[in-house]
Structure 1
């Protein structure tokens, strides 16, 4: 037996060990059709939380949670570290001084931590074993004075290489920063592109931004543009490495919030959970391809789908950002915006900026287009009062199970099942709350039957007459991964 044949056999044996031989294929058991991939719990999850604030008055809370019964290996760990102290696995074994900011020890119970002031760093989180599937971390910051005063909330996100942010701005009263965080051991190189109402806003400053290993870089968007633009779409691309990206928007008069990345470009989009008392809503959309997009605008209200008067459609030119002010589009009822093509489907990205309050006591938040809940989605840091869970079923009625976790300081889980009628938004101002709740808790949404469901959570905590609030969307938590079907194929030894 020659060395090549021995190596090939070693490869086949190794592959068998890795896949466990999902099927044993002999000549008489061959399957002419492709078999569906199995879904297995993820074994490791990485999340990054941006620098929360530059205000000395800022108070930030972090809540981490893994749903119970997520599967995966028993045991495991989950923790948040300042990004500058995040180490490789090998180095971490040698350096026991890297004390975690937050540690979670078991699924089913959230844990929380707090930080104050302007010196709080970006955090990197890792979860493995039984804590990895569906691990979620919420970062919520409040401060009552200064530019951007209000509530700034965001889900800490996984690193990636491509992000879209419709709704960014370089307007005079806005200070928008893109926070780029690199979790890895090698530097990342990132390009930031801005697109306004007439096309790309060219600036060489946005090219080849270096993000060093285990570091976070904030970039003020106004330094990348030649003038003030009220409405922009930003595209962030990692040319090498990977980063997490999130935009913190602060307005001199209207407060602020985090703008999370929108769902990937698609022909139809759902933007769930416009508050019933929204005093204004601005839609920003962008068509990245070569074709213009013509979109039909509909509002999924509590009773059905309606077309907003005067805002029946939106034309989005290729490569240009389009914006439209929808006013108080919800008319006192919570709703979700549905964007569908009027003719041929053309991929677009979109986000809403919504405002609550009046005069000097206004506050804003963002609702980017989002993916469906899928198998399961979770949002952490819910309070005894102030949480509104919005569920929308655009295509077909659906039944949805909503589970409230135990509290961070005590309480027993609670579950309720709801029916969401087709074309409607079900806004739960009193979602399930743990019995005997102490602290904050997590909400997990799981579709039971019917069509696809989209969701968001509004957290509202008024302070000094300001209707402080933040909105987080709930796409699928990616707690499972597809494992390809594998069979023995000894024919490779003869090739």
Structure 2
């Protein structure tokens, strides 16, 4: 073979090889390649059970009773507390009250150790009443767990009101709290509401007027650092030197596009000739402007008695809606919007007689069995509102026959309960919202059913 022939042969062979390799690459690119998919490693765990804690509002307080000390806060009436736990026996302890000018009865808190690797379910509630020239009425409240964020919807800082923001820390670590107050002019961060130190096992009382004087429809956002606190509001009203009522108002459900107030008790018929207090609903969009609607339904038959649509809400500016023409009865109030909001409803007894009022706040959804304490106060009832179709069970923890409550989606029902008794509520397959209401001669009060500490969901952990 000549040199030229050998060179041609090598060129031809190289070209053929190149074609073969190129074709293989193209074919490989066109053919489906094997893939390897790996899901992230995860583990569902239940957090280590912690001690259950519930803090109470404590006694009714009076602001400025002493004419020589207009800013002095003193105890006006002691409260009666009932408590029970499902598991370990609860321990009661008292809290310091550094803002008080007297040594009246201190607020109480309860704790219970975990049992069987799970938090102990703890239920407690308190009631206080008085009938004096400057302060009268019934105040009831549930003793609840502290939280890092709370929303107080209710009360007033206008003339005639002497409201107090209560910050209760039942834990062993001090908390630092900031208060943001929303009103007709939007949000403010008052100097008196910033960096409030709430010591371990103590309660602070801050006059609402010191935060935003003159505001008729405030909403207060409470944010804690270092440790959670229980936030609440004591609201008192005086009309032309006549005591108009008192209430202890717990935190409302956290902002959401829908808020449900299970029961608002209207006690005076609009055509009775008496001076009825009426019903009003306070709303506020918390993050963005929103359009909202408010529906008021009769608990007795589910019928709509009031419907207000196309309510324009500006973020951070509370709106007060008057609902007129309400017959005597219990009503469920539902507020919906296209952005998160908070809500509460106000009603009162006959204002022409010894009067009282109550704020009913939106209730959180309860999806697991929980204990609820019925405060020792007159005429107690339990109202349940269903998220979905369900059969709820209500059982006294001290023993007794369970009661079943069948509910369709969106339906509410009211049953009588016994004052001073602790019940276990099993919401069944669907979630429920609930409230305990009280009504007597010139007395009115309510508080929502709170979820159990023992119902903490599993956490998914990604290494």
Match of 2:424 among 438, 441, 444: 444
For structure 1, the 5+ residue unaligned runs are 1-30, 71-75, 86-116, 407-411, 434-438, 490-495
Per-residue CA deviation, residues 386-443 of structure 1 (Å, 9 max, x unaligned), is: 11111112x533211111232xxxxx42211121233332122x34x5xxxxx83112
Query: Contact between 2:249 and 2:447, CA under 8 Å: does it hold in 1?
Result: no
Q: Aligned pair in 2 of structure 1 residues 484, 288: CA closer, same or farther (>3 Å)?
A: closer
The 5-angstrom pairing of residues 134-173 of structure 1 reads 134-173=121-160
Query: Contact between 1:271 and 1:370, CA under 8 Å: does it hold in 2?
Result: yes
- 1:119 CA displacement: 0.4
Query: Contact between 1:77 and 1:129, CA under 8 Å: does it hold in 2?
Result: no
For structure 2, the 5+ residue unaligned runs are 1-37, 63-74, 269-276
The 5-angstrom pairing of residues 461-472 of structure 1 reads 462=440, 465-466=441-442, 468-472=443-447
The 5-angstrom pairing of residues 22-61 of structure 1 reads 37=44, 42-54=49-61, 58-61=77-80
Cross-structure match for 2:67: none
Please tell me whether residue 125 in structure 1 is matched to residue 110 in structure 2. yes
Paired with 2:427 and 2:40, the residues of 1 have a C-alpha distance of 29
Per-residue CA deviation, residues 171-195 of structure 1 (Å, 9 max, x unaligned), is: 1111110111233444322111111
The 5-angstrom pairing of residues 141-220 of structure 1 reads 141-220=128-207
Paired with 1:184 and 1:66, the residues of 2 have a C-alpha distance of 18
User: Is the radius of gyration larger for structure 1 or structure 2?
Assistant: 2
Query: Contact between 1:181 and 1:217, CA under 8 Å: does it hold in 2?
Result: yes
Cross-structure match for 1:234: 220
Q: Aligned pair in 2 of structure 1 residues 327, 126: CA closer, same or farther (>3 Å)?
A: same
Cross-structure match for 2:432: 453
Cross-structure match for 2:380: 387
Query: Contact between 1:304 and 1:422, CA under 8 Å: does it hold in 2?
Result: no
Match of 1:281 among 274, 279, 282: 279
- 1:249 CA displacement: 0.7
Per-residue CA deviation, residues 191-235 of structure 1 (Å, 9 max, x unaligned), is: 11111122124532221122233322100010112x411111111
Match of 1:79 among 78, 91, 114: 91
Paired with 2:408 and 2:131, the residues of 1 have a C-alpha distance of 39
Cross-structure match for 1:415: 402
Query: Contact between 2:125 and 2:375, CA under 8 Å: does it hold in 1?
Result: no
Tell me the matched-pair count: 396
- 1:385 CA displacement: 6.3
CA RMSD of aligned residues (A): 3.0
- 1:447 CA displacement: 1.7
Per-residue CA deviation, residues 266-325 of structure 1 (Å, 9 max, x unaligned), is: 001101111152652221111121x2121111123232352615x344221012111112
Per-residue CA deviation, residues 335-373 of structure 1 (Å, 9 max, x unaligned), is: 2101123xxx20011111221233132211111111112
Query: Contact between 1:53 and 1:120, CA under 8 Å: does it hold in 2?
Result: no
Query: Contact between 1:79 and 1:126, CA under 8 Å: does it hold in 2?
Result: yes
Paired with 1:372 and 1:174, the residues of 2 have a C-alpha distance of 32
Q: Aligned pair in 2 of structure 1 residues 485, 295: CA closer, same or farther (>3 Å)?
A: closer
- 1:144 CA displacement: 1.5
- 1:379 CA displacement: 2.2
With the length of structure 2 as denominator, give the TM-score of the two structures: 0.77
Cross-structure match for 1:257: 247
